Structure 1
């Protein structure tokens, strides 16, 4: 399994309602791309409070690297990614992505 982790530092004036709408779009993609095992998204509620501005994020679990590649190439993912970049602080600099292989 591949765990795709995305952390986003949204612009300060970008409303929570719009963030929820973007994350809802992500859930629609799940039904369109085979190999997605699960999606979790939301705002950090960490008691450690060391998010450094990356207050929102999501995790997508994929069956394998091929499923992740299909997701990355899907037009709805590209459209959503463009919206995330447009509303992140500093554009792409306001987004962190990590892909971690997870052993069963």
Structure 2
């Protein structure tokens, strides 16, 4: 399994409602791309308070690297990615992405 972790530092003017709409758009992609196992998204509630402005994020679990590639090249993912970049502080600089293999 591949765990795709995305943290977003949204611009101050972006409302929680807009962010939730973006996350709902993300969840709709699940039905479009084979190999997506789960999607979780939301706002940090960490008691440690060390998010450094990355207050929102999501995790997508994929069956394998091929499923992640299908997701990355899917037009709905590209459209959502452009919206995330447009709403992040500094564009792409306001987004962190990690892809971690998870042993079975």
TM-score range normalised by the length of the shorter chain: over 0.9
Question: Which residues of 2 match residues 22-101 of structure 1 at below 5 A?
Answer: 22-101=22-101
Counterpart in the other structure of 1:10:
10
- Structure 1 residue 48 displacement after superposition: 0.2
Q: TM-score, normalised by structure 2?
A: 1.00
Q: TM-score, normalised by structure 1?
A: 1.00
Where has structure 1 moved over 2 Å in runs of 4 or more? none
Gaps of 5+ in 2: none
3-state SS of 2:46 partner: coil
Number of residue-to-residue matches in the alignment:
104
The CA RMSD over aligned residues, in Å, is 0.2
Gaps of 5+ in 1: none
Q: For the residues of structure 2 that align with 1:102 and 1:96, how far apart are their CA atoms?
A: 19
Q: For the residues of structure 2 that align with 1:43 and 1:13, how far apart are their CA atoms?
A: 16
